[in-house]
Amino acid sequence: MVNPVTEIKKPVLRIQNLHVSYDKNDKGKYAVANVSADIKKDQITAIMGPSGCGKSSLLRALNRMHELYPNIVTQGKIFLNDVDISKLSNIELRRKIGMVFQSPNPFPSMSIYENVVAGYKLNGIKQKKNQRDEIVEKSLKDVALWNEVKDALHKRGNFLSGGQQQRLCIARALAFQPDVILLDEPTSALDPVATSKIEDLLIKLKKNYSIVLVTHNMAQAARISDYSMFMYLGELVEYGKTKDMFTNPSDKRTEEYLMGKFG
């Protein structure tokens, strides 16, 4: 039943007693309440739940995105490969954990090429041109965009379709070879064809990357994830192998959600 290989591998992320609150003054009200979980390496972990359940808040705690907003308070511990992320600088952490957002957001002032290596530029990492060319080509090939854009690398990305733009954003996150990629409902703004392309891509990418995917689309979680979390009202209700959860949920709330009773 249990795949021995994945069990032996250490978890890439360990979340311990995580709390996220959006109100400094009312710490009793949590968007994420006391969540503990280990995220498996080189697997796709989906976080599901009705809107407002705290799934995005959980995801954004993993790369300390909440620090941008002073009113958000995060408590608890998160370890990335056994290193406490609060001990890392947020610069370093975010280089190790890539993020893809709900709607495609390539930088409009940069060309496709510049977008892929934007992380290097933003971090002030200088490289020779042929090295840069290599990274761009490899990252774009990884997201199966190379053939579509190789003749327009130095044009701005605004003529790309939504799906292409989102793959460009994934390439931008991949260019750093992060340990983990966080995706926040990456296909919610896309049509079914573009969605299935992204899903195929994620399955391919999990060979080398650990992927955490927030989705409100149960079918998507069932199609591509290895592990699933179900969150409700900030709580982690159930976490386990996707197959097990979908066939035999252990909590009544999970069962109701999967039957379409809410959300």
Partner 1 sequence: MNSEKVTKNLLFVASIILILLAAGMVLTLASGSIPVFEKFGIQFIWSNKWNPTAGREQYGALPFIAGTIITSVLALIICLPLAFSASLFIGEFYKGTFFAKIIGTMVDLLAGIPSIVYGLWGFYYLRPMIVKLGLNAQGFGVFTASIILAIMIIPYATSISTEIISLVPNHLKEAAYSLGATRMEVIWNVTVPAARSGIIASYILALGRALGETMAVTMLIGNDNHIPKSIFGIGNTMASVIANQFGEAEGSKLSALIAIGLLLFVITGLINAAGKFIIKKLA
Partner 2 sequence: MEDQKVIVDKLSSKSKDARRKASNGIFHGLVILFSLITITPIILIILNLVEKGYRQINLHFFTQIAPDSWDAMQAISQGKLIPGGILNGITGTFMMVGMASIIAIPLGIMIGIFLYENGNKRYANFIRDITDILQGAPSIVLGLIAYLWVVKYITHGFSALAGAVSLAIMMLPLIIRPTEETFKMIPNTIKEAGVALGVPYHKIILKVMMPTGLSGLMTGILLALSRVIGETAPLMLTALGSQYVSFDITKPASAIPLLIWNFYNDPNLVNLIWSSSLSLVAMVLALNLISKRIASKRK
Which residues in this chain contact partner 2 in the complex, by CB under 8 A?
A: 89, 91-92, 95, 123-127, 131, 135, 138, 176-177, 208
Within 10 angstroms of residue 231's Cβ, the number of other Cβ atoms is: 27
Shortest distance in whole angstroms from residue 99 CB to partner 1? 4
Local structure of 111: helix, strand or coil = strand
Exactly one of 14, 121, 216, 243 binds partner 1 (CB under 8 A); that residue is 121
Shortest distance in whole angstroms from residue 244 CB to partner 1? 32
Local structure of 80: helix, strand or coil = strand
Whether the CB-CB separation of 184 and 56 falls below 8 Å is answered with yes
Shortest distance in whole angstroms from residue 162 CB to partner 2? 28
**Closer to partner 2 at the Cβ: 138 or 216?**
138
**Closer to partner 1 at the Cβ: 118 or 153?**
118
Whether the CB-CB separation of 173 and 99 falls below 8 Å is answered with yes
**Contact string 67-86 vs partner 1 (x = CB under 8 A):** -x------------------
**Closer to partner 1 at the Cβ: 17 or 123?**
123
Shortest distance in whole angstroms from residue 65 CB to partner 1? 7
Q: HSE of 47 in the Cβ direction (CA atoms, 13 Å)? A: 30
Binding status of residue 92 toward partner 1 by CB under 8 A = yes
Binding status of residue 65 toward partner 1 by CB under 8 A = yes
**Strand blocks (E) in the chain:** 11-21, 32-40, 44-48, 73-80, 83-84, 97-100, 180-184, 210-214, 227-232, 235-241
Shortest distance in whole angstroms from residue 132 CB to partner 1? 15
Distance between CA atoms of residues 77 and 104, nearest Å: 30
Whether the CB-CB separation of 238 and 49 falls below 8 Å is answered with no
Distance between CA atoms of residues 152 and 116, nearest Å: 13
**Closer to partner 1 at the Cβ: 92 or 200?**
92
Residues in the site for partner 1, rule: CB under 8 A?
63, 65, 68, 90-95, 98-99, 101-103, 105, 107-110, 118-119, 121-124, 169, 172-173, 176
